[in-house]
Amino acid sequence: MSGEHVSDAVALLREGQVSSEELTHAALARIEQTDAKLNAYLAVTAEIALAQARAADQRRAAGDRVGPLLGVPFSLKDNIDTSGVPTTCGSGFLRDRVPDADASVVRRLRAAGAVMVGKVNLHEFAWGGSTENEHFGPTRNPWDLTRNAAGSSGGSGAAVAADTCTFSLGTDTGGSIRLPASANGVTGLRPTVGLISDDGVFPLAWSMDTVGPLARSARDIALVLRAIEGPEGVGPAAEAHRRSEPDVPHDLTGRVIGWDEEFASGGCLPGVLAALKAALGEMESLGAKIVPVSLPDTELVQKAWSVIHIAEPAAVHRELLRKHADEYGADVRALLQLGELLPATDYIQAQRFRSAVRSRTWAALRGVDVLALPTAGWIPSVLGRNPLDAVRDLTGVTTGLRFYTCFASMLAAPALTIPVGFAEELPVGLQLVGRPFEDSTLLAAGEVFQNHTDWHLRRPPV
């Protein structure tokens, strides 16, 4: 019962078939059962969760106006502030940091009635692709405990996959929601930058950061998104900043999906590429038109993204690095020090290029509703092994773990990852990229696909 879809949990609670307290007890029991193996949680907030669950049940019994997620258990990446509960950012020297206010998204979730069961693990300061955290230990992949859960929101991906919560909030700068969604066989959305407030979220690279949900399905993601979207200072019920629930069609007739064969095949293992092409075939059978596209400047996009992704965190951490250099993990410290050596002219040129490539990309995608890309061309690496080395060994790709995910980040575009199959018995995710603020188009396409397939229903052996 702990692993219900968000939509199923909402229905069961509304119909009185289960109480929030029962659902929360089940989630907490599932955490106790699995987390010694997974290490997805940094803190389990059992007392807070049960108090919130009882309050939700009382509100429902009293006939109060019910929030859209009333009584639904969730987890939260530990770089998102929670009042009175430690928010460590996965850092050893922030282990005892306790914010005095909730992040905006947490306030919105409280207003919606959701129940927080815990804070989950991440790569230190959300800067890394494996969630092998030097201070709190690695999060293990529930499909294969010898492998990592990707990152940086690896705790969120593993927590949802292991049925310890109905959804989790992560953050995404260059792929940190989408990569764990793919690696753990769940669904994850990087929303359009600006759609969700990042107030109270520790920044990584502010021009690309965004908060987003991971859950079982695109339908679940849509439910969560409607509860948390909107600018800071606007209540979640303010109609001017909320989107009505779109009608989800029965099929994909009329949808045009772009696919760059050369780019996609250049960084994918054969098994991953086969799963992606099979998913596109399924979409075609549902009425979608798959058209060939040629994305411009792909190598330059990746290089410019790397410059921005190194420079902005170095600025964020400048004072902390002066005080705590020896307390950072070795990988994060090396990146920060590299960022401090980067010429300002490189950063400015990268941002200028970013502006130009947006125009060229949308011109190349004229007439295309959705761009399909791999999420990751690789499978999660064995724990303790440098994941970038594994990528080089397996595919010859030298541009990094975010070979495909950095594209949407540079475009400030929404991107949805959905599970579409397996390679070497590990999940494969397909990435759907849309135009800014057309998040609902992606979610509708994802929901149609999931209404006709069962990849998102598969459960890991743990």
**236-253 average pLDDT score:** 58
pLDDT of 10 higher than 90: yes
Which pLDDT band holds residue 101 (cuts at 50, 70, 90)?
very high
Using 50, 70 and 90 to split pLDDT, how confident is the model at 43? very high
Model confidence pLDDT, tens digit, residues 63-97: 887 789 999 999 999 999 999 999 999 999 999 99
Arithmetic mean of pLDDT, 26-49:
98
- pLDDT value of residue 440: 96
| Chain mean pLDDT for the chain | 92
Q: How far apart are CA 316 and CA 336, in angstroms?
A: 9
| Predicted pLDDT of residue 2 | 52
Query: Which amino acids are annotated catalytic?
Result: 77, 152, 176
Confidence of residue 398 (pLDDT cuts 50, 70, 90): very low
Is position 418 within any domain? yes
Shared-domain flag, residues 65 and 128: yes
Residue 51 forms part of a structural domain: yes
CA–CA distance, 317 with 84 (Å, rounded to integer): 24
Flag whether 450 is in a domain. no
Asked whether residue 239 carries a pLDDT value surpassing 90, the answer given is no
Residue 448 lies in a domain: no
Question: Which amino acid, one-letter code, is at 126?
Answer: A
Q: How far, in Å, CA of 89 to CA of 347, rounded?
A: 25
The answer, yes or no, to whether residue 461 has pLDDT greater than 80, is yes
pLDDT tens column, 137-188: 999 999 999 999 999 999 999 999 999 999 999 999 999 999 999 999 999 9
Per-residue model confidence (pLDDT) at position 400: 55
Domain-located, residue 192: yes
- 457 found inside a domain: no
How many whole angstroms separate alpha carbon 98 and alpha carbon 82? 8
Among 17, 10, 207, residue whose Cα is nearest residue 115: 10
Q: Are 95 and 138 members of one domain? A: yes
- 282-315: buried (b, 16+ CB within 10 Å) or exposed (e) per residue? bbeebebbbeebebebbeebbebbbbbbbbbbbe
pLDDT, residue 246, reads: 56
Question: Is the same domain home to 356 and 309?
Answer: yes
Same domain assignment for residues 223 and 262: no
| Residues 143 and 87 both lie in one domain | yes
DSSP H helices, 325-415, are: 330-341, 344-364, 387-395, 406-411
Residues 196 and 262 in one domain: no
Q: Are residues 188 and 309 in the same domain?
A: no
pLDDT range class, residue 462, cuts 50, 70, 90: confident
pLDDT in the model for residue 39: 98
Please check whether residues 78 and 148 belong to one and the same domain: yes
What is the reported pLDDT for 65? 75
**Residue 169 located in a structural domain:** yes
Structural contact between residues 1 and 163, judged by C-beta atoms closer than 8 angstroms = no
Predicted local confidence at residue 236, as pLDDT = 39
Q: Are strands 167-172 and 187-190 parallel, antiparallel or unpaired?
A: unpaired
In terms of domains, do 311 and 412 share one?
yes
Q: For the beta carbon of residue 349, count every other beta carbon within 10 angstroms.
A: 13
CATH number at residue 103: 3.90.1300.10
Read off the tokens for 225: 């998104």
Q: Do 218 and 447 touch, CB atoms closer than 8 A?
A: yes
Task: Answer yes or no: do 163 and 196 share one domain.
Answer: yes
Domain check: are 31 and 70 in the same one?
A: yes
Q: Structural domain tally of the chain?
A: 2
107 shares a domain with 53: yes
Return the exposure string of 108-141: e unless at least 16 CB atoms fall within 10 Å of the residue's CB, then b: bbbbbbbbbbbbbbbbbbbbbbbbbbbbbebbbb
Q: pTM for the complete prediction?
A: 0.94
> Which structural domain range is residue 392 located in?
256-440
Q: Are 286 and 448 in contact (CB under 8 A)?
A: yes
pLDDT in tens, 196-232: 999 999 999 999 999 999 999 999 999 999 999 987 6
* Residue 445 in domain: no
| CA dist., res. 343 & res. 146, Å (int) | 40
User: Could you tell me the pLDDT band of residue 386, with boundaries at 50, 70 and 90?
Assistant: low
* Residues near 262 by beta carbon (within 8 Å), at least 6 away in sequence: 294
Residue 8 has pLDDT above 80, yes or no: yes
